Amino acid sequence: MFKGSIPALVTPFKDNKIDLKALENLVDWHISEGSHGLVAVGTTGESPTLSHEEHKTVVEAVVKCCSGKIPVIAGAGSNNTEESIDLINFAEKIGADGALVVTPYYNKPNQRGLIKHYTALHNSCDLPIIIYNIPGRSVIDMTVETMSQLSKLERIVGVKDATGDVSRVSDVRLSCGKDFIQLSGNDEVALGFNAHGGVGCISVIANVAPKLCSEFQNSMLQGNYQLAITLQDKLVKLNRAAFLEPNPCPIKYALSRLNLTSNEVRSPLVAVDKETEKVMDEALRCAGII
């Protein structure tokens, strides 16, 4: 259903407004470069600073532009269950293929609260739902036991795991079953993640290196880990550079170097400094992108 290289798409801005033309061009480029799917309005899409109207505008634009060529997973997370239900219902209405739902941030629900939240979302729609477990941003960590319980619900189909703990993949396989989709949320551990049983990555660096990331994921899906290691060596500097400053600031700079978007991010984020620009330029050269 969902596998391979799935860029967590940036949201292009021009004069603090969504640049829909640049967004459509990016989607067309990802399709032509071999990306296996797209996430619209995840963290890399600067979801915290988009209004609900803007959020929906971006999701709908990406779905329309893809036209079924590759699957679109709509960001639908919130720390308010009713808001998340509204976003997931909209995503279903306009034809998204799935929803990515982050564990609620700031209000820090316990495991019983997580079960209640995701069960309510599951019961509100017919879309496949991917749990987004990212303790570094949401503070809470969904346990394997909680995930196992949720995986028994028909439409809870997988997880984007941004814990950075590749050993957890094996625990989840045992608890949730081998058909439960496991996608890495950390580019730098995608190789090890798949070796443990993952099937892809919701990726930041695939925004700027979609063809390389697609080849990287294809090689692992085909069991060719020697090729995967070679490609990892080309991508490793990009993995590092992309997180020298808050995401997606470095990757938007990289896209601006390719004349694909502006370098504009929304406050409280700011454009990267000159030192980060230099490191990113070197990473792009190492990957053969510039």
Domain ranges in the chain are 4-224
User: Is the distance from CB of 284 to CB of 290 less than 8 angstroms?
Assistant: yes
pLDDT of 63 reads 98
Alpha helices (H) in 38-140, listed in sequence order: 52-66, 81-93, 111-124, 135-138
The architecture that CATH gives domain 4-224 is Alpha-Beta Barrel (3.20)
Q: What is the distance, to the nearest Å, from the Cα of residue 11 to the centroid of all Cα atoms in its chain?
A: 13
pTM of the model: 0.97
DSSP bridge pairs for 160:
132, 183
Half-sphere exposure of 125 (CA within 13 A, CB side): 27
DSSP structure class, residue 157: E
Determine the pLDDT at residue 146. Answer: 98
Q: Are 157 and 118 in contact (CB under 8 A)?
A: no
pLDDT < 70 regions, the chain: none
Q: Which residues contact 208 (CB under 8 A, 6 or more apart)?
A: 238, 251, 254, 255, 258, 284, 289
- How many of the other CB atoms lie within 10 Å of CB of 254? 30
- DSSP string covering 179-190: TSEEEES-GGGH
pLDDT computed for residue 31 by the predictor = 98
Encode pLDDT of 49-92 as tens digits.
999 999 999 999 999 999 999 999 999 999 999 999 999 999 99
pLDDT computed for residue 192 by the predictor:
97
> Which residue numbers are catalytic?
132, 160
* Contact of 91 with 59, CB cutoff 8 Å: yes
